[in-house]
Amino acid sequence: MSERRNVDSEPAFILHARNYRETSQLLEAFTHNHGRIGLVAKGARRSKSPFRGALRLFQPLSISWSGRGDLATLRIAECSTSANNLVGTALMAGFYVNELILTLLHRSDPHRDLFAHYTALLAGLADAADNVEVVLRRFEMALLSEIGYGLCLDRDSVHHAELSPSQRYEYRVERGPVPVDATSGSDMVFTGVELLAIGRGDFAEQETLSSAKRLLRNVLEHHLGGRPLKTRKVFASMKRRI
Amino acid sequence: MAFHLLDRDRRGGETLVTALENALKAIGHCERCRMLAESALCQICDTAGRDHALMCVVESPADVVAVEDSGSYRGRYFVLMGRLSPLDGIGPDELGLDLFEEQIAGAEIREIILATSATVEGEATAGYLAALAKNHEVAVTRIAHGVPLGGELEYVDSNTLSRAISTRRALDAD
């Protein structure tokens, strides 16, 4: 574990908070230089707490903490910019991304690039003009490449030749696109055009966007190792009632 | 407390045990609002003098006590016993929303006041309940968030202040 005892003014977001004892909270935070960390915010639920109003999900923070090991003590938490106001689908997407980070990132592994992607993701989700699905797919791709499972979307994994737009490929996780004939009915079959567009991050076509969703969902499920996402289950039951 | 009861007040300990036992046996949930209750209906739902067309939705029994203590509310409640918390796997099924939907579909309720907490999950819960209520003939309001009484602006945290400004209201001069 880290030897550092004090960290000051670190950019961070709270990914998850749960109540702890009478007045405290246990936090999972995503920080710029220290990755995901566990914190205890003592007295955070008291009406006079200095953290009050700051420890909200999706709020850009500057935090200071002390201690080593898995659970450090939060000393200061200040809002660094105004909150990302997420509502409706964008808010649900925010919860989903937080669960992905909590599940796929190890504690105390710095992921500075991903921190920047997360910051951009929240700004995109808060901006009604942006398509939530596009913002989500970009983040999922960044997350995969950050943890070493980046998608291979330019060459086929058999002949190492550039993808041909008209060819159909089956995407195999941890291998890449494998050319298949037109009759293959796997859930992971895509056209070269689609894979190339996804690789460029070009989601202008609705077809590309839904293919990207199918591709990323399967790849993420593989890396989650069969652990079901709680957020996905909750959203499904929320949608059933509306 | 354990040492005190064992060393000096064993009789007091027995009284405590009986009280806890009775509480655990007798106290269930009100079948109308899910508040803790000793009978089928809680005291509030059972009182004729209250406005049963006004429903205040809160997260916990402690919230009911807090609103009651404010002395300003004479309607009824609906206690979720939690809030939407997707990361903990808590969704509509865990919050008794079947009962909630059943009640707002009935003709009795005129207004729903969403008094869930001012956390992101509390806001998510309020937003979702408002969406559920949309299909019914019922007004939906959210409790106001802002500057505490007696509070000076310079000591109010920036998120609360920004909310207070964005949800400001017109002031009528008499």
| Domain tally, chain B | 1
Q: Measured between alpha carbons, how far is A153 from A191 in angstroms, rounded to an integer?
A: 11
pLDDT of residue A189: 93
CATH code of the domain in which B104 resides: 3.40.1360.10
Phi-psi region of A160 (alpha: psi -120 to 50; beta: other; left: phi over 0): left
- Least confident stretch, A84-88, A220-224, B94-98, B116-120: A84-88
Quick one: tokens of A36? 């995901």
Judged by a CB distance cut-off of 8 A, whether residue A87 touches chain B is yes
Whether the predicted pLDDT of B83 surpasses 80: yes
Tell me, what's the pLDDT at B139? Answer: 95
**B91 contacts in chain A (CB < 8 Å):** 233-235, 237-238
Residue A16: list chain B partners with CB under 8 A.
87
What are the sequence ranges of the domains in chain A?
5-79, 88-241
β-pairing verdict for B75-79 and B51-58 = parallel
CA distance A108 to A28: 11
Measured CA to CA, the distance from residue B98 to residue B27 in angstroms comes to 22
Closest by CA to B129, choosing from B68, B72, B79, B65, is: B79
Asked whether residue B22 is domain-assigned, the answer is no
**Inter-chain contact B92–A92, Cβ cutoff 8 Å?**
no
Instruction: State the smallest CA–CA distance between residue A95 and chain B in angstroms.
Output: 7
Q: In the predicted model, what is the mean pLDDT of chain B?
A: 93
Q: Minimal CA–CA distance to B112: which of B81, B135, B90, B146?
A: B135
Contact call for B91 and A238, based on CB within 8 A: yes
- CA dihedral A106→A109→A113→A116, nearest 10 degrees, is 70
Q: Which domain holds residue B70?
A: 28-166
The distance of A52 to chain B (nearest Cα, Å) reads 7
Is B95 near chain A, with CB under 8 Å? no
Task: Output the pLDDT for position A3.
Answer: 61
A241/B92 CB distance under 8 A:
yes
Establish if B3 belongs to a structural domain.
Answer: no
- Specify the pLDDT at position A219: 96
- For residue A31, what are the contacts with CB-CB under 8 A and spacing of at least 6? A10, A11, A12, A37, A63, A115
Q: Would you say residue B2 lies in a domain? A: no
Q: Which of B121, B124, B157 sits opposite A53 (nearest CB)?
A: B157
Chain A residue nearest residue B94, CA to CA: A234
The answer to whether the beta carbons of residues B87 and A99 sit under 8 Å apart is yes
DSSP letter string, B55-92: EEEESSHHHHHHHHHHT---EEEEE-SS--BGGGTB-G
Residue B64 lies in a domain: yes
Distance (Å) of CA B117 to CA A71, A143, B120, B125? 26, 32, 8, 9
Which residues in chain A are contacts of B84 at CB distance < 8 A?
A: 234, 238
Angle at B116 between CA B111 and CA B117, to 5 degrees: 150
Q: What is the CATH number of domain A88-241?
A: 1.20.1440.120
pLDDT at B151 over 90: no
Whether B132 sits inside 8 A of A242 (CB atoms) is yes
Q: By the 8 A CB rule, do A76 and A66 touch?
A: no
pLDDT of residue A68: 74
Query: Which CATH number is associated with domain A5-79?
Result: 2.40.50.140
Percent of chain B residues past pLDDT 90, beyond the cut: 80
So what's the ipTM on this one?
0.87
C-alpha angle A165/A170/A172, rounded to 5°?
125
Tens digit of each residue's pLDDT, chain A (242 residues): 456 579 999 999 999 999 999 999 999 999 999 999 999 999 998 888 888 888 999 999 999 999 877 889 999 999 988 878 899 999 999 999 999 999 999 998 999 999 999 999 999 999 988 899 999 999 999 999 999 999 999 899 999 999 999 999 999 998 999 999 877 778 899 999 999 999 999 999 999 999 999 999 999 999 999 899 999 999 999 999 88
Decide if A48 touches B, using CB distance below 8 A: no
Q: Measured in Å, how far apart are chain B's first and last C-alpha atoms?
A: 57
Domain assignment present for B77? yes
Helices A206-223 and A192-200 meet at what angle, rounded to 10? 80
